[in-house]
Structure 1
Amino acid sequence: MIKLFISDLDGTLLGMNHYIKPHDIEALKKLKDKGIDLAVASGRMDHDIAQVLSKVGVSGHRISQNGAFVYHSNGEYIYSKSFEIDKAKEVMNFIKNEPMVKTVSTEDKIYTSEHNEWVDLISEQLFQDVIIEPDLMNRFGDHIIPAKITLHGKEDDVILASGRLREQFGNELDSFISHESCVDIMPQMINKGNGIKALLDTIGLEPNEIACIGDSFNDLPMFSVTPHSYAMSSAHPEVQKKAEYVVDHVYEAIEDLKTKVLY
């Protein structure tokens, strides 16, 4: 039986301009009423996840920045992982000529080195402003401890940059196309799947007792954890192939679990 339901945010539970479908909110609340725990696993920051859970009106565990930070629903700190400073600087030097905006996320803030129209677009979809820090890389290890480095830009540039990162760093770090307009660069072995495993170890659940839903390549490690995985029909075909089921909405995944008498 399912005891935990995990949802991605952007493109899954969360639409443009922070919109959440009323049917999805209703379905998540019904799960909570049935005693089923909720969690959000996102490339976003913990602050954003907390804001979304507040908008939905439920409590939940929080797996932020693709698994770099994991929090229990009661606020307990379960896990955290940031870049080694030298490795973060190596990544920044490698991507410096990419024709894209570079942002650096710490546990609770997002930085970039200069302002442009892309920064405004990024800020509009976040729950906080991107901080301009002209001396960004030189502040690493000082007041900036990088947990995630992101390239933002056009889809073609994102795909090319993702390939170059894999070719250069191989297994030295993890990188994901988390949206058609961005690629996230993470410390080695940091992904949603490992973040979920850390949560399961803490709360005492088995992989077959959870279900998850997502829409991007950064959700694939999450899909691999449980047999009850759902991809959004809007997801890339390669993402859909890795999930057990494909649905149009979060509430449809929840309805499917009920139909299968899994809760």
Structure 2
Amino acid sequence: MIKLFATDLDGTLLKEHNRITTEDRIGLRDLVEHQVELAIATGRADNEIKEIYKLIEQTGHRVSQNGSFVHNKQDDMIHTYTFEKDISHALHKLIEDTNINYLISTADDIFIKEMTPFLEKFEHLFFFPLKVGNNFTKELGKSIIPSKFMVVGETDEIVSVQELLHKHLDPHIESYLSDSRCVDVVPKGINKGIGLTKLINTLSIQTNEIAVVGDSFNDIAMFQMTPHSYAMSSAHPEVKKHATKVVDHVHEAILDLKEQGLY
């Protein structure tokens, strides 16, 4: 039986303009009514997950920034991992030298060097205002403790930067194409699968007792944890092949679990 249902946000539970469908809300509520716990596992920040739970009028566990931070539904911190100071500076210099747009996430905030026309297109996607860093060279590792760098732009451009970063810092970083216009860079050994594992270990839940749904490369680690994995039909073919089934909506994954008698 399923004891925990974990969903990605962007492109999965969150549709365009941060919209959640009525059908998905009903499906999540049905899980809760049948004593299935919820988890949101996303590249977004923890405070944004809290806003999502308010929107769906539920409580649940939180795996944020691709597994850099894990909180249970009682708001206890289960896991946290951020970049070491020297790696932060090395990453920043490499990215800065490419002249590409980028954002730096900490546990509570998202920083930018300056508001560019490209970043203006992204700002509405976040639940909280972006902050402008005054001097990243001095602040990184001190007042700004990075947990994730986001490189944004056109796909071929950001993938080129992604390859550059791994060429120089591969032993220290993981990276995921979380969107066609965004590469997430996190500390080595951090992913949603590891974050979920740390969570379920505290809940005494086995991997065959969880179900997961997502749409991006950063969801593959979740898919590989359990036989009950669902990829969105909009996902890249390489992502879909790692999931057990493909669905159009989150509520379809929930319905499939119910029809199998898994909750």
Whether TM-score is above 0.5 comes out as yes
1:196 paired with 2:226, answer no
| CA contact 2:68–2:195 (8 Å) conserved in 1 | yes
Any idea what SS the aligned residue of 1:62 has?
strand
Partner of 1:236: 236
Q: Is the 8 A contact 2:4 2:210 kept in 1?
A: yes
Q: Distance in 2 between matches of 1:46 and 1:261?
A: 32
Q: Does the 8 A contact of 1:155 with 1:180 survive in 2? A: yes
Alpha-carbon shift at residue 188 of structure 1 (Å): 1.0
Judge which range, 150-159 or 248-257, deviates more: 150-159
1:148-187 map, 5 Å: 148-187=148-187
Contact 1:114 1:134 in 2 (8 A): no
Q: In the TM superposition, what is the alpha-carbon distance from 1:163 to its structure 2 partner?
A: 2.5
Note the C-alpha offset of 1:27: 0.3
Preserved CA contact (<8 Å) 1:41 1:63: yes
The amino acid of 2:28's aligned partner reads L
Distance 2:153 2:260 in 1: 41
| SS at structure 1 position matched to 2:241 | helix
Alignment correspondent of 1:8 = 8
- Residue pair 2:6, 2:210 contacting (<8 A) in 1 also: yes
AA aligned opposite 1:147: S
Question: Contact 2:213/2:232 (CA < 8 Å) preserved in 1?
Answer: yes
Aligned to 1:221: 221
| TM-score, normalization by structure 2 | 0.97
- Residues 100-125 of structure 1, C-alpha deviation per residue, up to 9 Å, x if partnerless? 21111100001111121222222210
Q: What is the match of residue 262 of structure 2?
A: 262
- The alpha carbon displacement at 1:76 in A equals 1.0
Contact preservation (8 Å) 1:70, 1:79: yes
Equivalent in the alignment of 1:134: 134
Q: Is contact 1:16–1:125 with CA below 8 Å preserved after alignment?
A: no
Determine the structure 2 residue equivalent to 1:245.
Answer: 245
Task: State the Cα distance separating 1:164 from its structure 2 match.
Answer: 2.5
Code of the aligned partner of 2:253: A
Deviation of residue 225 (structure 1)?
Answer: 1.2
What's the offset of the Cα at 1:99? 4.2
- Report sequence identity in percent: 40
Contact 1:42 1:64 survives alignment (8 Å)? yes
Offset, 1:77: 1.1
Counterpart amino acid of 1:151? V
Is 2:103 aligned against 1:90?
Answer: no
Equivalenced residues, count: 263
Separation of aligned partners in 2, 1:166 and 1:7: 28
- 2:30 aligned with 1:25: no
When structure 1 is superposed on structure 2, of 134-143 and 52-61 the one drifting more is 134-143
C-alpha contact (below 8 Å) 1:6/1:41 kept by paired residues = yes
Greater Cα offset, 161-170 or 10-19: 161-170
* Structure 2 residue aligned with 1:109: 109
For structure 1, the residue ranges without an aligned partner over 5 or more in a row are none
Alignment partner, residue 47 of structure 1: 47
- The 8 Å contact of residues 3 and 210 in structure 1, kept in 2 or not, is answered as yes
Partner of 2:207: 207
Q: 8 Å contact 1:99–1:157 — kept in the other structure? A: no
Counterpart of 2:84, as a letter, is E
1:229/1:243 contact within 8 Å kept: yes
For 2:175 and 2:155, the matched residues in 1 are separated by 15
Shift of 1:92: 1.1
Indicate the SS of the match to 1:121: helix
Q: What is the identity, as a one-letter code, of the residue corresponding to 2:205?
A: L
CA offsets per residue over residues 145-198 of structure 1, 9 Å max, x none? Answer: 101011011122122222223333223211111111100110110110100011
Aligned to 1:56: 56
Mapped to 2, the partners of 1:139 and 1:188 lie a distance apart of 22
- TM-score, normalisation: structure 1: 0.97
The amino acid of 1:16's aligned partner reads E
Backbone CA RMSD of aligned residues: 1.1
Q: CA deviation at 1:96?
A: 1.6
Question: Any idea what SS the aligned residue of 1:25 has?
Answer: helix
